[in-house]
Amino acid sequence: MNFTELAHTHKGLFEQFMIEAVSFRSQTHLEEAMRYSLEAGGKRLRPLILFAVLEAFRKPVEPAYYYGAALEMIHTYSLIHDDLPAMDDDDLRRGKPTNHIKYSEATAILAGDALLTKAFELMTRGDASAETKVMLIKELAKASGHEGMVGGQQADMDGEFANLTVEELESIHARKTGQLIHFAFLAGGTLAEASVETVTDLEEMAYTLGVAYQIRDDILDVQGTEEELGKRTGADAKLGKSTYPALLGLEQANALLTEKLEKALALNRRIKQREETYEEELLSSFIESLAL
Amino acid sequence: MNFTELAHTHKGLFEQFMIEAVSFRSQTHLEEAMRYSLEAGGKRLRPLILFAVLEAFRKPVEPAYYYGAALEMIHTYSLIHDDLPAMDDDDLRRGKPTNHIKYSEATAILAGDALLTKAFELMTRGDASAETKVMLIKELAKASGHEGMVGGQQADMDGEFANLTVEELESIHARKTGQLIHFAFLAGGTLAEASVETVTDLEEMAYTLGVAYQIRDDILDVQGTEEELGKRTGADAKLGKSTYPALLGLEQANALLTEKLEKALALNRRIKQREETYEEELLSSFIESLAL
């Protein structure tokens, strides 16, 4: 099975599961606003990575929908808050009005808060042991809080007009984008009960792909059209943000992306050499799909 | 020991513990903004209730600092977000500039997000069993998310210009204020390993006091001075919000407060009748301190 086939099998069912998790008191605006952003589409990249790791180890995927939904809710809340006028001030996301445009700033703030909170409730569910749940909740909180994603967002804001080095940029993105992707790999490996060496390889793959993903995003922000991306392009340059193409030039940024993807593929081959039944294609096909 | 003595013993140590929990990467604004609101004072009501229940059952309080800090961080994040221009638009809180006035709207949004996330990380720590932690994390998420506090905040916003009945007002406040107080009692009883009947009594006491606390707050908003409260008064009336004094008149609101406090005292006596070693004074002195 490759990554596209996995997505085809699980994406629709998983999305339905996730929406149903937010169905309390539908008479208020709040759940409507939460569902609006959850339903706005997107690739469901983080949960699908988690599911792909489980599938690669030939473990059942459905019991992990809870944890995939937690990841996607944290990603979604961060987009809602990032789009607010006080932050990136975006009116368009995935081709639709952003949450605060559709509802109100107040409701968008609260819907984000509620999605973040719901994520941790979902982490307490499912069939993992209490010890595993506690460990994963701690890791998810670190990945998404002031030491992780939120800290990276603040650093990104603070650095908008500074001249960053490539290393500083990588450090910011490791937190802003990389840590949730890291959690997806870590949770997949942990729930699949993979060996310590293999979980370590998965974590290194995660950090490598987190950077690759950001380079790719920066390149697309320069090259893509609004139609393709479903959001405003050129926004980074307009805000004077440090990006990989701005720091390295487009050609070097492309070369760095290729380098990162090759490193990730090598790690994936190493796991296959260690674990005989490991289905290498699930992650190799995903890694290859990130090439431009 | 009474509630004041408990506060005297633990408040300073607990505050120090809580601030130290947010000390990663002090070079960014983010942790500074998180600490600013955590340090802004307040009565630490929710953690002290948790500690008072433990102390009343003669259990050690310090190991529960993690869970008290989680509660206080969720309360603090909700104040930061509630004060934002898009929400209540307050510039003064506990006698100091609100977070977004001191820093920026963006930083205040992120500091709130990070405090909420940190709360769940803290819930994974401490010496409770993994099963207890998972149970309490689930309860805390429900208490503070769309089914609880955040849902109550949205309902409060939606109802600002509606004519609510006392029952509707009580339902909103049960979520907006009551659920975190409920969690403080529930966590205290659970960590003290109290009997099911006693935990049920503690939970009923919690709901009763949650309403009492809100009635008291509404009365003080009409009667208090800014100096006493450290925040702008008359704000509710200015916003046309439904409050207990507005719905019932000041005299009836006072009578309802007294009634709720007497009910809470009766529940506390019932626990003492059931549990011989229970130190009744810890909660009775707290309940009495809410009288006006």
Chain-centroid distance of CA B77 in Å reads 12
> How many Å from the N-terminal Cα to the C-terminal Cα in chain B?
22
Q: What distance separates the 2 farthest-apart alpha carbons in chain B?
A: 54
Interface pTM (ipTM) of the complex? 0.92
Distance CA A147, CA B250 (A): 47
**B-chain residues near A77 (CB < 8 A):** 113
Which of A175 and A12 is assigned the larger pLDDT?
A12
Residues above pLDDT 70, as percent of chain B: 92
Are the Cβ atoms of B109 and A22 closer than 8 angstroms?
Answer: no
| pLDDT of A5 higher than 70 | yes
Kindly give, in sequence order, each residue whose CB lies less than 8 Å from that of residue A219, ignoring residues fewer than 6 positions away: A244, A245, A250, A253, A254, A257, A292
CB nearest to A118's CB, from B86, B118, B141: B141
| pLDDT tens digits, B161-215 | 577 888 888 888 888 888 999 999 999 999 999 999 999 999 999 999 999 998 9
| pLDDT tens digits, B127-159 | 999 999 999 999 999 999 999 999 988 888 887
Distance CA A283, CA A2 (A): 8
Full domain range(s) for residue A167: 3-289
pLDDT band, very low/low/confident/very high, at B94 (cuts 50, 70, 90):
confident
Are the Cβ atoms of A28 and B138 closer than 8 angstroms?
Answer: no
Helix (H) or strand (E) holding B62: none
The residue of chain A nearest to residue B139, with distances taken between CA atoms, is A121
**Pairing outcome for strands A92-93 and B96-97:** unpaired
Number of domain units in chain A: 1
- Could you tell me if A24 and A31 are in contact, meaning their C-beta atoms sit under 8 angstroms apart? yes
Share the mean pLDDT of chain A: 91
Distance CA A44, CA A163 (A): 32
Share the mean pLDDT of chain B: 91
**B-chain residues near A67 (CB < 8 A):** none
| pLDDT tens digits, B74-91 | 999 999 999 999 999 999
DSSP code, position B93:
E
CA dihedral B134, B136, B142, B143 (to 10 degrees): -160
| pLDDT tens digits, A81-138 | 999 999 999 999 988 999 999 999 999 999 999 999 999 999 999 999 999 999 999 9
| pLDDT of B265 higher than 60 | yes
CATH number of the domain bearing residue A26: 1.10.600.10
Q: Can you give the pLDDT at residue B51?
A: 98
Cα Rg of chain B, angstroms: 18
pLDDT band, very low/low/confident/very high, at A176 (cuts 50, 70, 90):
confident
Q: Can you give the pLDDT at residue A174?
A: 83
Q: Can you give the pLDDT at residue B173?
A: 82
Closest CA to B245 of B262, B278, B221, B275: B221
Are the Cβ atoms of B120 and A141 closer than 8 angstroms?
Answer: yes
The residue of chain B nearest to residue A122, with distances taken between CA atoms, is B138
How much is the pTM?
0.93
pLDDT average, residue stretch A69-79: 97
> Which pair of structure tokens corresponds to residue A61?
């995927």
How close does chain A come to B25, measured CA to CA in Å? 8
Are the Cβ atoms of B146 and A114 closer than 8 angstroms?
Answer: yes
pLDDT band, very low/low/confident/very high, at A26 (cuts 50, 70, 90):
low
> Which pair of structure tokens corresponds to residue A283?
């992650």
> Which pair of structure tokens corresponds to residue A103?
């509802």
Where do runs of H (alpha helix) occur along B124-276? 130-144, 149-158, 166-173, 179-191, 196-223, 226-229, 235-238, 244-248, 250-274
Are the Cβ atoms of A30 and B146 closer than 8 angstroms?
Answer: yes
The residue of chain A nearest to residue B131, with distances taken between CA atoms, is A130
Q: Can you give the pLDDT at residue A171?
A: 84
Are the Cβ atoms of B25 and A144 closer than 8 angstroms?
Answer: no
Q: Can you give the pLDDT at residue A231?
A: 60
Q: Can you give the pLDDT at residue A168?
A: 84
DSSP code, position B176:
I
> Which pair of structure tokens corresponds to residue B81?
């977000």
**A-chain residues near B133 (CB < 8 A):** 130, 134
- Could you tell me if B194 and B57 are in contact, meaning their C-beta atoms sit under 8 angstroms apart? yes
Are the Cβ atoms of B114 and A34 closer than 8 angstroms?
Answer: no
Distance CA A24, CA A36 (A): 14
| pLDDT of B25 higher than 70 | no
| pLDDT of A226 higher than 60 | no
| pLDDT of B96 higher than 70 | yes
> Which pair of structure tokens corresponds to residue B34?
């998180």
Chain-centroid distance of CA A146 in Å reads 17
| pLDDT tens digits, A249-291 | 999 999 999 999 999 999 999 999 999 999 999 999 999 999 9
Q: Can you give the pLDDT at residue A192?
A: 97
DSSP string across chain A: --HHHHHHHHHHHHHHHHHHTT-S-TTSHHHHHHHHHHHT----HHHHHHHHHHHHTT--SGGGHHHHHHHHHHHHHHHHHHHSTTTT--SEETTEE-HHHHS-HHHHHHHHHHHHHHHHHHHT-SSS-HHHHHHHHHHHHHHHSTTTHHHHHHHHHHTTTS---HHHHHHHHIIIIIHHHHHHHHHHHHHTT--HHHHHHHHHHHHHHHHHHHHHHHHHHHH--HHHHSS-SSHHHHTT---HHHHH-HHHHHHHHHHHHHHHHHHHHHHHHH-TT--THHHHHHHHHT--
The residue of chain A nearest to residue B100, with distances taken between CA atoms, is A86
